[in-house]
């Protein structure tokens, strides 16, 4: 499944090369040439992952990583630091600032994609392509297909992502804010009752096979996907 990945890198050739490779892998690359632009984009909408260059014109990537970790909204944002420096102490400083992983330039596209995939898998299992199946309801992220006891279920892209997230986190109470953050990417501009609208549509789509009963309303808490 595709992830929105913000590339913060001041060298246009490297930035473009990374963007091309991410696009080929099915992701949506966003680009920033400095910290100010990166901040503005992150403030507008949370990406799924940030590739962050160390040396940037207006501020160091390390300082941006520190700022992101200090803010509740961006604390969990997955960060991979990019740097030309290979010294061990720099690496430690990067991890200290809150980077989840580290790539030393020059790196191969294959290595980049492997690290991105691994970090996405760790940070948001729903963004990976593994099919998930619960009580005869099967969702295949790579083909965007949902079936109930083998029969196809028609879902809009939003309901698909919502169902995917619910099925990846069964038996857990998920608040509307949490669902907005995880499914819509950010909840800055969207009202929480939007979640209820899409839950209603999702239940409707699952009604025929009876799987709508798996989407449980938790009074005052949000929603929970029953494990069976
Ligand atoms: Ca640089």
From residue 168, alpha-carbon distances to 33, 44, 100, 108, 147 in Å are: 35, 27, 22, 31, 16
Residue 211 sits in the same domain as residue 188: yes
Query: Domain boundary at 127, 143, 165, which?
Result: 127
Residue 120 sits in the same domain as residue 14: yes
Residue 176 sits in the same domain as residue 207: yes
CA of 9 to the centre of ligand 1 (A): 6
CA of 39 to the centre of ligand 1 (A): 16
CA of 8 to the centre of ligand 1 (A): 9
CA of 69 to the centre of ligand 1 (A): 21
The pLDDT value recorded for residue 111 is: 94
CA of 83 to the centre of ligand 1 (A): 8
* Domain count along the chain: 2
Contacts for 189 with CB less than 8 Å, ≥ 6 apart: none
Residue 122 sits in the same domain as residue 142: no
What distance in Å separates the CA atoms of residue 27 and residue 3, rounded to the nearest whole number? 5
Structural domain of 75:
4-127
Residue 9 sits in the same domain as residue 81: yes
Who surrounds ion ligand 1 at CB < 5 A?
10, 53, 55
The pLDDT value recorded for residue 129 is: 73
CA of 128 to the centre of ligand 1 (A): 29
The pLDDT value recorded for residue 89 is: 73
Rg, Å, the chain Cα set: 19
pLDDT tens, position by position, 13-32: 999 999 999 999 989 999 99
Strand positions, DSSP E, 20-172 = 28-32, 49-53, 79-83, 101-104, 132-134, 137-140, 145-148, 151-152
CA of 173 to the centre of ligand 1 (A): 42
Residue 144 sits in the same domain as residue 219: yes
Residue 11 sits in the same domain as residue 83: yes
What distance in Å separates the CA atoms of residue 68 and residue 227, rounded to the nearest whole number? 34
What distance in Å separates the CA atoms of residue 85 and residue 68, rounded to the nearest whole number? 22
CA of 17 to the centre of ligand 1 (A): 14
What distance in Å separates the CA atoms of residue 122 and residue 8, rounded to the nearest whole number? 21
CA of 156 to the centre of ligand 1 (A): 40
Residue 60 sits in the same domain as residue 143: no
Q: What pTM, to 2 d.p., does this model score?
A: 0.62
Residue 175 sits in the same domain as residue 216: yes
The pLDDT value recorded for residue 86 is: 67
Residue carrying structure tokens 């099925």: 167
**What average pLDDT values come out for the chain (228 residues) when binned by 10 residues?**
89 96 94 97 90 95 94 89 77 81 90 91 70 95 91 92 92 89 71 91 96 95 91
Query: Domain boundary at 108, 127, 146, which?
Result: 127
CA of 10 to the centre of ligand 1 (A): 5
- Cα–chain-centroid distance for residue 23? 15
CA of 46 to the centre of ligand 1 (A): 22
Residue 59 sits in the same domain as residue 118: yes
Query: Domain boundary at 100, 127, 154, which?
Result: 127
Residue 57 sits in the same domain as residue 169: no
Q: Helix (H, G, I), strand (E, B), or coil: what is residue 156?
A: coil
CA of 33 to the centre of ligand 1 (A): 9
The 8-class DSSP code of residue 170 comes to: T
The pLDDT value recorded for residue 184 is: 81
What distance in Å separates the CA atoms of residue 132 and residue 124, rounded to the nearest whole number? 14
Residue 146 sits in the same domain as residue 83: no
CATH code at 91?
Answer: 3.40.50.2300
CATH code at 213?
Answer: 1.10.10.10
The pairing of strands 132-134 and 49-53 is: unpaired
């Amino acid at each position: 499944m595709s992830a929105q990945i913000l590339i913060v890198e001041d060298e246009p050739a490297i930035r473009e090369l990374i963007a091309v490779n991410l696009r080929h892998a099915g992701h949506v690359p966003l680009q920033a040439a400095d910290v100010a632009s990166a901040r503005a984009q992150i403030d507008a909408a949370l990406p799924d992952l940030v590739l962050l260059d160390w040396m940037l014109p207006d501020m160091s990537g390390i300082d941006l990583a520190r700022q992101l970790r200090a803010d509740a909204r961006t604390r969990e944002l997955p960060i991979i630091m990019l740097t030309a420096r290979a010294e061990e102490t720099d690496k430690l400083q990067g991890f200290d600032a809150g980077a989840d992983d580290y790539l030393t330039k020059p790196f191969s596209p294959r290595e980049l994609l492997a690290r991105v995939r691994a970090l996405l898998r760790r940070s948001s299992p729903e963004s990976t392509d593994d099919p998930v199946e619960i009580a005869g309801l099967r969702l295949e992220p790579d083909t965007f297909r949902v079936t109930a006891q083998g029969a196809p279920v028609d879902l809009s892209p939003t309901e698909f992502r919502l169902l995917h997230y619910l099925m990846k986190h069964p038996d857990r109470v998920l608040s509307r804010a949490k669902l907005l953050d995880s499914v819509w990417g950010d909840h800055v501009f969207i009202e929480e009752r939007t979640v209820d609208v899409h839950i209603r549509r999702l239940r409707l789509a699952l009604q025929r096979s009876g799987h709508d009963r798996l989407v449980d309303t938790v009074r005052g808490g949000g929603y929970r996907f029953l494990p069976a």
